[in-house]
Structure 1
Amino acid sequence: MRAHCLITLTLSGLAAAGWKPAIPAAPTGHEWQAASPGDSRSPCPMLNSMANHGWLPHNGKNIDLPTIQSAFENAMGFAPEVFVGITQSSLAVSTTGNSSTFNLQDLAFHNAIEHDGSLSRNDIFFGDNLHFNPLIWAATAARYGIRIPFASSVITVEIAARARAARVRDAKLVNPKFNLTDAGSSGSIGETSVLLTAFWDPNQGGVPKDYVRVLFEEERIPYAEGFTRPQTEHTLTDLVAMITAVSAVRV
């Protein structure tokens, strides 16, 4: 009892003195900075977040494979081989004039990497498949349970898989020219799987909702919410296992 009182008094004193617990900071040199006018950004919140933190060029331009590999490895802990294929698809729609580089905005080219039924972007039929769409994201966030009081603090594989499938169904209902190709469907599942793999907490069996919220809404890596680069790399085998798990969920 005495020890409890001492701890309580100590914490009260620290609070009165303005003390606050340490909040994890972004690595030195990788503090968040919003995109400036003229910077290139993509339909992908993770790529945009890495550019905003300087893991990718902040202007989002002239990005090559080694830069992608370095960014995903150093920021998110993915092994270099994981994003070779997707980078090659990005280079195929490059507007830089250099076949070995691309700009982030190039990824908005429809049905190359970008696809109908995005979790946070509108379909190209409606005119803007590049920028964050608050209404579409609100539906996804609701399905993730991000703002539901007293709910679990994590998004499980099942929740993420069903939210993805529900967004595709929504898009199909309202878009008279909805066209999710086989490649686009694989990409949609892959994107959810990358998100889950990057932020997975094995102790909780899911990804923290706060991490996902700030990634999509602020295009910021959630360092302040507690994210740190994992000690063990995420391999291609890890990602394939997550893709298999997402695909196996009955939706």
Structure 2
Amino acid sequence: MRDHIVVLGLISSSFVAASPISPFGRHLSAASTSAPAGHEWRIAGPSDSRSPCPMLNSMSNHGWLPHNGKNIDLATIQSAFQSAMGFSTESFISITEQALTLSTTGNSSTFHLSDLAHHNAIEHDGSLSRNDQFFGDDLHFNPKIWATTAQRYGIRVPFSTPVITVETASKARAARVRDAKLVNPAFNLTDQSGSIGETSIFLTAFWDQSAGGVPKDYARVLFEQERIPYAEGFVKGNHTLADIVTMISAVSAVKV
């Protein structure tokens, strides 16, 4: 599978409100995180650019990407994913090249995060945390959409199980696509590789091998707060493009 297909879903799935309150009402502060020095969490301001992807937004909120989310080039993407998430530098070359075709910066070598909301280029219907473009906003976090995903992930306190498994994540992804198809008369996700890639990159980035899944707290803070879950125990791994391909195979193999 080509690497640009592998990673389409990463940038498909925005401001959280400018005040330091998560969409679920949890009060946040930079002091509540244990991020590496110089990469403390800061919520996006009203003039900052954000994408439909909570992982990209989280890296920007931590300063691995420019905090304003603007004028991002390939080298910056490579450095951010390597430094923040432990992905090898070849992992996101093709998807970044595709992002550059959507650029509104006036410089074909850079893009703003908000450029990635362009419908059906990288962004797609059936996002885990955004509504479909047909309904008017495919950029911002949608609490109702996410609440359904969170329920399918089993994110409740106390959690009945501590992690999101490949099976759980795969079934939740497929169910969200089915939901969108039922209510969106313009639904056009004919190729689900981007959606599968989105889930696979999330699982690869945050996988806890000893626990056999992604800790549910990691997912909760990533989606709800657009914060890298350092305070919850996240430590970056070492991931290659081959690791993403392996996870895609595992996600695709689940009967949904």
Tell me, yes or no, whether TM beats 0.5.
yes
Match of 2:225 among 209, 218, 228: 218
- Structure 1 residue 126, shift from structure 2 partner: 0.2
Could you say what the CA RMSD is over the residues aligned between the two structures, in angstroms?
1.1
**2 CA distance for matches of 1:108 and 1:248?**
29
Larger of the two Rg values belongs to structure: 1
Alignment-derived partner of residue 242 in structure 1: 247
* Structure 2 residue identity aligned to 1:221: I
Local SS of the residue matching 1:90: helix
Alignment-derived partner of residue 79 in structure 1: 88
**2 CA distance for matches of 1:93 and 1:186?**
20
Give 5+ residue unaligned stretches, structure 1: 1-22
Q: Per residue, is there more helix in 1 or in 2?
A: 1
- Structure 1's consecutive aligned runs of 4 or more residues displaced over 4 angstroms after TM superposition are none
Matches within 5 A, 1:11-50: 25-50=34-59
What is the TM-score with the length of structure 2 in the denominator? Answer: 0.86
Match of 1:201 among 208, 213, 218: 208
* Structure 1 residue identity aligned to 2:218: Y
**2 CA distance for matches of 1:36 and 1:134?**
19
Alignment-derived partner of residue 10 in structure 1: none
Distance 1:105 1:24, change over 3 A: closer
2:178 counterpart of 1:169: yes
- Structure 1 residue 149, shift from structure 2 partner: 3.6
The count of residues paired between Structure 1 and Structure 2 equals 225
**2 CA distance for matches of 1:75 and 1:149?**
29
2:107 counterpart of 1:107: no
% identical aligned pairs: 76
Summarize deviations over 1:151-176 as a string: whole Å, max 9, x none.
11100000000000000000000001
Local SS of the residue matching 1:80: coil
Distance 1:31 1:173, change over 3 A: same
Alignment-derived partner of residue 103 in structure 2: 94
Asked if structure 1 preserves the Cα contact closer than 8 Å seen for 2:33 and 2:40, the reply is: no
**1 CA distance for matches of 2:148 and 2:33?**
30
